[in-house]
Structure 1
């Protein structure tokens, strides 16, 4: 997935997480903290690729990580997420340097990258160092990024339209006119 796709997908993910109130910090947090936190970390897993957006700018970090782990290795795993959370919570009080709502946004942003990469044929090794790849190949990078852009924008529109405080699986209200039309269509079969 491209940097553009990851940024749009992270924006959608942080908006949806805030609206679904996944944690008290997200439910009561500041929109600016949460969205900024998600956007700051959404490209971080690709630090393991020297030609990625971050890798090109931070080659001194990217090259050693790429040599040791390869692309879509450790940085694209649940172990990396756990290590990051432990690093912030054990060594530093996240509230001292980073507000808790922004910290939760950072976790959502990082997770959104991994979820988005699962939509490609290469998948991600969620259980690294185990080599199993988790994937739901919907996006094919060699065919351009139009489908990626459409999918990410559709997810963003869904997130913006999602009702505040509603879980993901609730039934959305259907207008009476749509229900009547559906009844007519079903009645013809």
Structure 2
């Protein structure tokens, strides 16, 4: 999936979580965006990889693409580190749900993700799409609609 689809997925996930949890929608949305981009640190051509090229190349050399940074192990480690070193639950929740949205979206691609790293087994949905395809544009549009819906709901109920 492209960066814009991941960002929109992170926004939708953060706002939906805000709606159901009652946490601050703005903080969850910001965390969702960060979390939605973070797993692609392993790819130097990604949005985050272009911002942190040295880190991206090192992570890619060690783990490759869509392996460790796309795994439940990485998700748990990040959740633990965030919980231990920053005091705001909404930030941790936003980043974690953003990462989860990234994983779900990448499971919809032909290559899938190595969800159970270090096991060499890729997880993908039975129906997949190609990055940048018309199907991805439809997914992007549906995520945008979900963002508007949950954004309205979360802000309406939060304020």
* Global fold match (TM > 0.5): yes
Residue number among 74, 78, 86 corresponding to 1:80 in the alignment: 74
Q: Relative contact order (C-alpha < 8 Å, sep 6+): which is higher? A: 2
Q: Which residue of 2 aligns with 1:64?
A: 58
Query: Matches of residues 1-189 of structure 1 in structure 2 within 5 Å?
Result: 1-19=1-19, 21=20, 27-90=21-84, 92=85, 94-95=86-87, 99-136=88-125, 137-141=127-131, 144-158=132-146, 160-161=148-149
Q: TM-score, normalised by structure 1?
A: 0.73
Give the paired residue count: 152
Structure exhibiting the larger radius of gyration computed from Cα positions: 1
Cα distance in structure 2, aligned partners of 1:155 and 1:41: 16
Once the two structures are TM-superposed, the CA of residue 15 in structure 1 deviates from its matched residue by 1.8
Cα distance in structure 2, aligned partners of 1:56 and 1:102: 24
Q: Which runs of 5+ in 2 are unaligned?
A: 155-159
Q: TM-score, normalised by structure 2?
A: 0.86
Q: Secondary structure at the match of 1:42?
A: helix
Greater helix proportion: 2
| Contact 1:37–1:109 (CA under 8 A) maintained in structure 2 | yes
Q: Which residue of 1 aligns with 2:157?
A: none
| Contact 2:14–2:25 (CA under 8 A) maintained in structure 1 | no
Q: Secondary structure at the match of 2:96?
A: helix
Q: Which runs of 5+ in 1 are unaligned?
A: 22-26, 166-189
